[in-house]
Amino acid sequence: MKKFKAQFRPTTAAVWKDKIIIIILIIDKIIIIILIIHFDLQVVPVIDFSNQNLKPSSPEWDLLKFQVREAFEEYGCFEASFDQLLELRQPVLEALEQLFDLPLQTKQLCVSDKPSSAYHGSPSRLYESISTDDAHIAENIEQCVTTTLWPQGNISFSKTLASFTQLASGLEKTILRMILESFGLEKYMDELLDSTNNHLRAMKYGRPNTSEPTLGIPVHCDYTTMTLLCQLNEVQGLEILNKNGEWMNINPSPNSFVVMLGESFSIWLNGRLSSAYHRVMMKGNEDRYSIGLFAWPRGGYLVKVPKELVDDKNPMLFKPFVLEEFLKFHSPQIVQGATKSSLKAYCSV
């Protein structure tokens, strides 16, 4: 009688890697669900990017890529733990305190023909900001901001903010690559990088001197490709609107960025991922300092849905648009709250 031997196919390393990633993701979700049920908590995911040796195609890279995609699908944002931020946090805070302590008439000298740049604020508002483009280059900050506010010079201010921009921009590029890989769109990486303006915005929310929550900045979505926010002191206030229409407090760690998907990238992805509506609510007697990298599509760049994201099941939702043209009629400085995207309405098919 002929004997049959069981045939076993060897499991490849790639298959095991995928299984391990899936198991870790399941465990991660179970832990979050237990915390939410037991403590009645709602928290955005925290993803650790502190490994300076993180490389594409490594098991850790693939795990983080899954987590990033999942976080954007569920919340439109996440908290990115990034230990390299710690050594810059205090110098950046001191630079912003020095900046916003200047007299109002001095800050108002910082003007620009671009609505997204220069100084915005007034004595009657809690919120004020100063912005500049391509801030990863210290000379750009020096030319657009520093020499105007400090005619005698303040090179340490320019270098500190440029160092922050470089750090945030490096993380933004990593996250962008992960998203593109998750959709099989890696070939667009260079195009998107070349068309990105590293716009830096320094922000101060004045103390309302009340225990009642006071609106620091109204509900909105950013028009960016991606936004990376860093809260510089211990004063909380950032909130996001979840899918259930509930406001969630975001209380980031000192070593982390809050990473938000922008409207321009959501449109480029044909709506596959959505950006997070958010606001800042202030209370108490302390000022809040924050700084953000706003990765904008550069002037003249045509934001267009890739053909790979359009088929019979996924028709094109948005027409090509140039953000610069849109901003001529819609200021990126938030003047009134809205939970409907004016940018998506502008380019909707």
DSSP 194-226: HTEEEEEEEEEE----EEEEEEEEEEE---SSE
Residue-averaged pLDDT of the chain: 89
Span 138-150, average pLDDT: 94
Residue pair 214/208 in contact (Cβ under 8 Å)? The answer is yes
pLDDT at 329: 75
Amino acid at 322: V
User: Looking at residue 313, what DSSP letter applies?
Assistant: S
Q: What is the pLDDT of residue 328?
A: 81
Whether 37 and 51 map to the same domain: the answer is no
Report how far apart, in Å, the C-alpha atoms of 285 and of each of 205, 206, 299 are. 11, 9, 40
* Claim to verify: residue 121 and residue 246 sit in the same structural domain: yes
Burial 204-220 (b: 16+ CB within 10 A, else e): bbbebeeeeebebbebb
The CATH code of the domain that includes 199 is: 2.60.120.330
Q: Do residues 198 and 81 share a domain? A: yes
Residues in the chain: 349
The pLDDT-based confidence of 41 (bands split at 50, 70, 90) is low
Q: Other CB atoms closer than 10 Å to residue 15's CB: what's the count?
A: 11
Residue 149: which of 101, 83, 184, 187 has the closest Cα? 101
Whether residues 205 and 226 share a domain: the answer is yes
Tell whether 213 is covered by a domain: yes
12 and 113 both lie in a single domain: no
Please report the pLDDT score of residue 26 as a whole number: 65
- Residue 1 domain flag: no
Are 21 and 164 within one domain? no
Residue 2 lies in a domain: no
Q: What angle do CA 323, 324, 329 make, to 5 degrees?
A: 95
Q: Which residues is 202 bridged to in the sheet?
A: 130, 291
The rounded percent of the chain whose pLDDT value lies above 90 is: 77
With residue 247 as reference, give the H or E element that holds it: strand 247-249
Q: Write down the residue that tokens 């648009």 correspond to.
A: 321
- Rounded to whole angstroms, the Cα distance separating 294 from 224 reads 6
Is residue 71 in some structural domain? yes
Show the tokens assigned to 10: 């060897």
Mean pLDDT of the 173-198 span? 97
Q: Are residues 36 and 63 in the same domain?
A: no
Rounded to an integer, what distance in angstroms lies between the CA atom of residue 26 and that of residue 31? 9
- Candidates 245, 232, 225, 243; CA nearest to 296 is 225
CA distances from 312 to 219, 308, 309, 315, 348 (A): 34, 12, 10, 6, 18
Examine residue 227 and state whether it is found in any structural domain, yes or no: yes
Question: The domain containing residue 23 runs over which residues?
Answer: 8-41
Other CB atoms within a 10 A radius of the CB of residue 171 amount to 19
Determine the pLDDT at residue 40: 44
* The pLDDT of residue 122: 74
Phi then psi for 188, rounded to 5 degrees? -90, 0
Contact by Cβ (8 Å): 173, 208? no
Is 257 contained in some domain?
Answer: yes
> Are 196 and 123 found together in one domain?
yes
Residue 30: per-residue pLDDT? 64
Q: Give how many domains the chain has, as a whole number.
A: 2
Examine the domain organization and report whether 240 and 266 are in the same domain.
yes
Q: What is the pLDDT of residue 39?
A: 43
Within-domain flag for 3: no
18 & 98 share domain: no
Phi, psi of 71 (to 5 degrees): -65, -45
Q: Evaluate whether residue 172 is within a structural domain.
A: yes
Instruction: Quote the tokens at residue 101.
Output: 């302590």
229 and 169 in one domain? yes
Same-domain check for residues 178 and 29: no
Q: What is the mean pLDDT of residues 56-73?
A: 97
Range with the poorest average pLDDT among 34-38, 93-97, 125-129, 173-177: 34-38
